[in-house]
Amino acid sequence: MSTIQWGIIGCGNVTEKKSGQAYNKIADSKLVAVMRRDAEKAADYATRHQVDKWYSDADELMDDPQVNSVSIATPPASHLDYALRAIKKGLNIYVEKPVTRNADEAQQMADAVRESGAKLTVAHYRRALPMFLHVKNLIDTGAIGDIRTVQIRMWQYPRPKPAADAPPNWRLQPELSGGGYFHDLAPHQLDLMLYYFGEPAHSTGYSLNQAEFSPADDHVCGQIVFKNKVVVNGSWCFNLGKDDAVDSCEIIGTKGKITFPFFGTFVTCRNQEGEETVNFVHPEHIQQPMITKIVSYFKGEGPNPCTIDEAVVLMKVMDSFTNSQ
């Protein structure tokens, strides 16, 4: 497979800037078709982004002989179905996060990948961003000694900036998203914890709907104990006033602390040698570094940057936070 020829299933807001344009800016990669159930919007997307073909039916896109790889960028409720159909058609697959609504669906996807030998990558794209690789390097080189605890706080008012607000907001419909803003945003934080610290030994938590402005829970708390004895505590609250919004991760070790926001652009490291803050500029298309790695993987030239099995572990952690009440 000399060129990865992409078809996007679900060319909505997430593909406008984060990913869609990146497919044509990577060597041996080309966006050849897009699909959306609303034909008018699919045609508009194709025209604006100079994509040759558009469809309003996913099977028609997947049957296009030019398409050898698909990006599934629909709400999570349809991820499993589209992935299973793409696997049967012999396509490479890139699935948006959260990979599914829950761990059971993720495991079904993982089983299908294993049985078929298909190539599938999950869009935990922060793994490929220089800012978060810098954090990983600080941890791996012992810049703050042995890691003891991690404190995550994602506190937002009912319309958090990282999430799209255009109605109807599927993120607040649990039957489509798996939950609420927690299911939309927490994969960014929790996947990095798995990437940094490895396999969890145990996780638990609770969730509740405090403000009741939607059917989804708006307050989630959880704890992960990793096999290497690192403890992560997380708090996600989406019902506060604007002035009390917080986006913070603190990684505390025996010799210092690393602090950074998940949706910001700086990392501060304080240790026995002093304090240093490094500022970053994210790529114009924030998924492009991840997609570059995926193209290499699909071509057989590199490893899978995020496997479905890793995503299953993440979904089990998320389920343990939200299914215990």
Q: How many domains does the chain have?
A: 2
162 — pLDDT class (breaks 50, 70, 90): low
Q: Residue 99, CB half-sphere, CA atoms under 13 Å: how many?
A: 32
- For the chain, how long is the longest CA-to-CA vector? 60
In a domain, 325, yes or no: no
pLDDT tens string 179-191: 999 999 999 999 9
pLDDT value at residue 161:
58
In a domain, 320, yes or no: no
Q: Crossing angle, helix 130-140 and helix 181-197, to 10 degrees?
A: 40
323 — pLDDT class (breaks 50, 70, 90): confident
Q: Both 64 and 84 in a single domain?
A: yes
In a domain, 51, yes or no: yes
Q: Both 213 and 293 in a single domain?
A: no
**CATH no. for residue 271?**
3.30.360.10
Q: Output the average pLDDT for the chain.
A: 95
Q: Both 268 and 294 in a single domain?
A: no
Q: Both 152 and 87 in a single domain?
A: no
pLDDT tens string 17-54: 999 999 999 999 999 999 999 999 999 999 999 999 99
d(CA 144, CA 38) in angstroms, rounded, equals 51
pLDDT value at residue 158:
78
- At residue 219, the 3 state secondary structure works out as strand
In a domain, 101, yes or no: yes
pLDDT tens string 221-243: 999 999 999 999 999 999 999 89
DSSP state of 166: P
pLDDT tens string 76-112: 999 999 999 999 999 999 999 999 999 999 999 999 9
169 — pLDDT class (breaks 50, 70, 90): confident
Q: Both 240 and 171 in a single domain?
A: yes
Q: Both 65 and 20 in a single domain?
A: yes
> What is the span of the domain harbouring residue 228?
130-282
pLDDT value at residue 325:
42
In a domain, 194, yes or no: yes
**CATH no. for residue 66?**
3.40.50.720
Tokens of 300: 């057989």
Distance linking the first and last C-alpha atoms of the chain: 48
What is this structure's pTM?
Answer: 0.94
pLDDT value at residue 168:
61
Q: Both 97 and 239 in a single domain?
A: no
Q: Both 110 and 167 in a single domain?
A: no
Q: Both 39 and 162 in a single domain?
A: no
Q: Both 43 and 161 in a single domain?
A: no
| Residues of the chain above pLDDT 70, percent | 96
pLDDT at 315 over 70: yes
Q: Both 208 and 165 in a single domain?
A: yes
Q: Say if CB 221 and CB 318 are below 8 A apart.
A: no
In a domain, 324, yes or no: no
In a domain, 55, yes or no: yes
d(CA 143, CA 162) in angstroms, rounded, equals 30
Q: Both 151 and 224 in a single domain?
A: yes
In a domain, 120, yes or no: yes
189-214: average pLDDT = 96
pLDDT at 167 over 70: no
d(CA 322, CA 76) in angstroms, rounded, equals 17
Tokens of 182: 């927690």
Residue with structure tokens 């078709």? 33
| Residues of the chain above pLDDT 90, percent | 93
pLDDT higher for 323 or 6? 6
